[in-house]
Amino acid sequence: MHLRHRLTPAVFLAGLLCCAAHVRAEEPLPKAEEILDKFVEATGGKAAYQKVHNEKATGTFEFVGKGVKGTMVHYRAEPNKMYMRVELENIGAMENGTDGETAWTLSALQGPHIAQGEERAFALREAMLRAPLEWRKVYKNAETAGVVDVNGQACYKVVLTPNEGKPETQYYDKKSNLLVKMSMTVVSQMGEIPTDTTVSDYKEQSGLLSPRKSHHTVLGQEFEITISQIEYNIDMPKDRFDLPAEIKALATK
């Protein structure tokens, strides 16, 4: 037998062994629970979250490329109360919120609306003050689905399935453990709406790290929210999360 023919199988086997060694050397994916818990630590830790009982965020809202801008104020209080108001130039105000039970929206363009079913469940999840710390209360499953590139950052892709509603996908930077992107389908009075949100510019306030910029893509439209100030444990007005008169009237019909 020719020497070259005898060597070929050995060379081929050596190549397979190298491949096998490479496969064994690949880093195993961490469990989703580990990724989510590391995010809590990276943003301040459990104790810092537990010290917060309410928050107020103020900033700006802008439709990208449309020349439409406005102001935004956002309140939240434990466990899941929320109120947000956006004032847009030449359009008017848009409000949404929840008192922890009723989730609602109100605008000059669409009038009052009370959320039901999956829409309500989503609103209550979004209103959770300590959502990163207490995610296990509202999601029945979390799974690491791989590593993907998000704007040049290697990120763990985590798919969370809520107790009620459609799965949501979150992307966490492998190096910093910070959340950088979210993708989900939002149920609204306009139907099911796919949305993508990227968050950036994390800054510390009272021991907690949070993003100050978010870029949203919804039905081909893009808008940005920039947070200029966050305050924790403020003297919250007692009626801050009361239902507006228009929502109360709608509820009694």
- Residue 48: is its pLDDT beyond 90? yes
- Residue 230: is its pLDDT beyond 50? yes
Q: From CA 240, how far away is CA 98, in angstroms rounded?
A: 10
Q: For residue 150, what are the β-bridge partners?
A: 153
Task: Report the CATH number of the 28-252 domain.
Answer: 2.50.20.10
Three-state SS letters, 79-108:
CCEEEEEEEECCCEEEEEEECCCCEEEEEC
How is residue 35 written in tokens? 């990724």
How is residue 105 written in tokens? 């929206």
* Plot region of 62 (φ>0 → left; ψ -120 to 50 → alpha; else → beta): beta
How is residue 244 written in tokens? 């507006």
Mean pLDDT (whole number) for 20-48: 84
Closest CA to 234 of 85, 83, 77, 100: 77
Tens of pLDDT along 196-214?
A: 999 999 999 999 999 999 9
Q: What one-letter code names the amino acid at 210?
A: S
The values of phi and psi at residue 167, to 5°, are -60, 150
- Residue 12: is its pLDDT beyond 50? no
Output b/e per residue, 64-81; b: 16+ Cβ within 10 A.
Answer: eeeeeebebebbbbeebb
How is residue 181 written in tokens? 């992107």
- Residue 6: is its pLDDT beyond 90? no
Under the banding of pLDDT at 50, 70 and 90, the label for residue 26 is low
Q: Which positions ≥6 away from 75 have C-beta within 8 Å?
A: 54, 55, 56, 57, 81, 82, 83, 84, 236, 240, 241
